[in-house]
Structures are given as C-alpha cells and as structure tokens.
Amino acid sequence: MKSSRSSDTAKLIARSVILASNDGVRSQLVTPEAIELLEQLRGKDWFSWASNFVLFRKAVLAGERFLLSGIITHYLVRKLHIEREVEKAIAEGCRRVVVLGAGYDTLAWRLHHKHREIQFVEIDHPATQRVKAGRMEVDQNLRLEPLDLSKGLPSSVLESDDSATAFVIEGLTMYLTPERVEELLKDVSRLAGEAGKVIWTFMERQENGSLGFQGESPLIPRWLELCNEPFRWGISREELADFTARCGLEVQRLGDHQSLRLEYLISKESQALPLARGELICISTTTVS
C-alpha cells in the first residue's frame, strides 16, 4: 500500500458492498445503515450511481465470476460473522472494542452509537484515517488512531485496560510479513487482557505453499502486486494451534466457507450464490493477561 493514499483493496471491498446492496439476493446480506455510512465516507461517486443499473451490475458480476467467483458474497458473510462475534464479545463482558485496519468498514462507527457504554477504537493507516476523521461524526466512545500497522504496533497508541477487550483484525494479516503477524498478535493478546477476545482472519496456506483464494484468476495476484498489496502470509489449519499458542491466544472456533454458508446463506435464493474459499475467520481468546 502506498503511504500517501488509502488501500486499493479497501476501496474494492467498499464498492463490492455498495454493489451488493442494489442486487436482489445479495442485498439481504447487507446492513442498510452500513450503506448510508459507506456512501458518506466514499461519497456518491460514479460507481455508486452506476450500481443502480441492472446492466452495470450484471457486467460487474460477470467479471467477478471470471476473476474470482463468490468473492463479493465472501466479503458480505465475513462482515456479518465478525459483527455477530463482536456482539457476543460485548455480551460476554468485553468493555472495549478495537478494530485494526478497518479500511472503509463501518462496524465501529455503527456499534458505538448502539453501545454507548463500550469504548470503540479504530487503528488504521493514516491515509484512510484522514478520510474518516474528515467525514465521521463520532461520540466520545469512538476514537480514531492513525498508525501504519506494517511499521507500528497497537501498543504504541493504545493503553492497557483493566477490562477485557475485543480486537477485530479483518483482512489484514495476509498483507503483513510472517514476523509482523506474530508481533502483532502477541501485542494484541497482551492488550486484550484476561478474558479478551481476538477476532481475526487469515489466508489458509495450501499443501503446495500457495496463498490465495481457490480458483482465482492469475490476474488477481498480479493486480495486488501492482497495488503494492500482495499476500505475504498465511497458515495451514494444522499449524494454527501451535502458532496462536506462541502468541498468547487459544483458538475457540473457525469460520470457513462451509460453516459460513450454512449460517448465512439460508434462503432458497442465497443458497445458489457462489462463495469464495481460502480465507478463514478465527475466533480466539487470550491465554495471558
């Protein structure tokens, strides 16, 4: 990612959500309030306008099927699952929620109004934070902290807290070096405190060592390279328990394409949607205070 501007993948995901909100079946997977906030952040650009037209949506979805079938639906159910897990963490006693590398995601923005007794913090790249800080109206229980997470750790801008903290690390670890991922998770596990929770995603490394979504076009990794956002890290399921233990975390459960499909694609229409596979959602709890 270039230091002077926000992430290209963050923009892509935001546009995917906006497109889905205008598509009959996929719109069931989008929170209406999230769209209002996204358009406030991104502005109603040509893509938002074009997404209202059936032919444009069909053209984009045809391109998605060619490049990486089911990736838009994956983004949608990933966000639904993470929000559900954050709500569980709050119900179980977490009094602070920290979102790392949020991009244009609206989770903290929406929930800080709903849970005024909870402190929310977003730590993200300065280029993205500048956009949000200029367009977001926030209450005292939401803080925006600019930090390049490839260079700095959350503890440099976030103090320890006596109460349990829930961390959200969505769509970030794959862009960091292996050493940085381990440093980040160790830092987060200390900050989360006793009974803290870490909700994070990672790419599942295949037996041949490859990283990426299964069935993706060769154009995808080339585009990521051009954006200076290539995938750098992933891990196999067999290695996950030992790795998280080193980081002070214990895996509680994983969300993969099968469990996410069973949980969220339950209507007759949504069952027919393709769903990309390759990125997993890991729900972890802290083993150190």
Q: How far apart are CA 174 and CA 191, in angstroms?
A: 22
Q: Between 179 and 127, where is the model more confident?
A: 179
CA angle, residues 138, 142, 148, in degrees to nearest 5? 110
Q: Tell me the per-residue pLDDT of 114-146, one tens digit each, with 9 for 90 and over.
A: 999 999 999 998 888 887 777 777 789 999 999
List the domain boundaries for the chain. 8-286
Q: How many other C-beta atoms are found inside a 10 Å radius of the C-beta of residue 29?
A: 22
Q: How far apart are CA 265 and CA 239, in angstroms?
A: 29
250 pLDDT higher than 70: yes
**pLDDT at res. 4:** 56
Q: How far apart are CA 101 and CA 107, in angstroms?
A: 12
C-alpha pair distances (Å), 18 with each of 22, 137, 166, 235? 7, 21, 27, 31
Q: How many other C-beta atoms are found inside a 10 Å radius of the C-beta of residue 219?
A: 11
Amino acid at 180: R
Mean pLDDT of 41-52: 75
Rg over CA atoms, the chain: 18
247 pLDDT higher than 90: yes
Pick from 130, 175, 168: nearest CA to 149 = 175
Q: How confident is the model at residue 173 (pLDDT cuts 50, 70, 90)?
A: very high
To which H or E segment does residue 77 belong?
helix 71-91
**Spatial contact of 176 and 240, defined as CB atoms under 8 Å apart:** no
Q: Between 161 and 106, where is the model more confident?
A: 106
44 pLDDT higher than 70: no
**pLDDT at res. 137:** 74
What is the reported pTM? Answer: 0.93
**Spatial contact of 67 and 217, defined as CB atoms under 8 Å apart:** yes
**pLDDT at res. 163:** 84
Q: How far apart are CA 177 and CA 36, in angstroms?
A: 35
Torsion sign (Cα): 276, 278, 284, 288: negative
Query: 91 in helix, strand or coil?
Result: helix
66-75, 109-118, 127-136, 181-190: which range is least confident on average? 127-136
CA dihedral 246, 169, 187, 134 (to 10 degrees): 170
CA dihedral 271, 273, 275, 281 (to 10 degrees): -50
Four-way CATH pick for 8-286: 3.40.50.150, 1.10.10.10, 3.40.50.1820, 1.10.3720.10 = 3.40.50.150
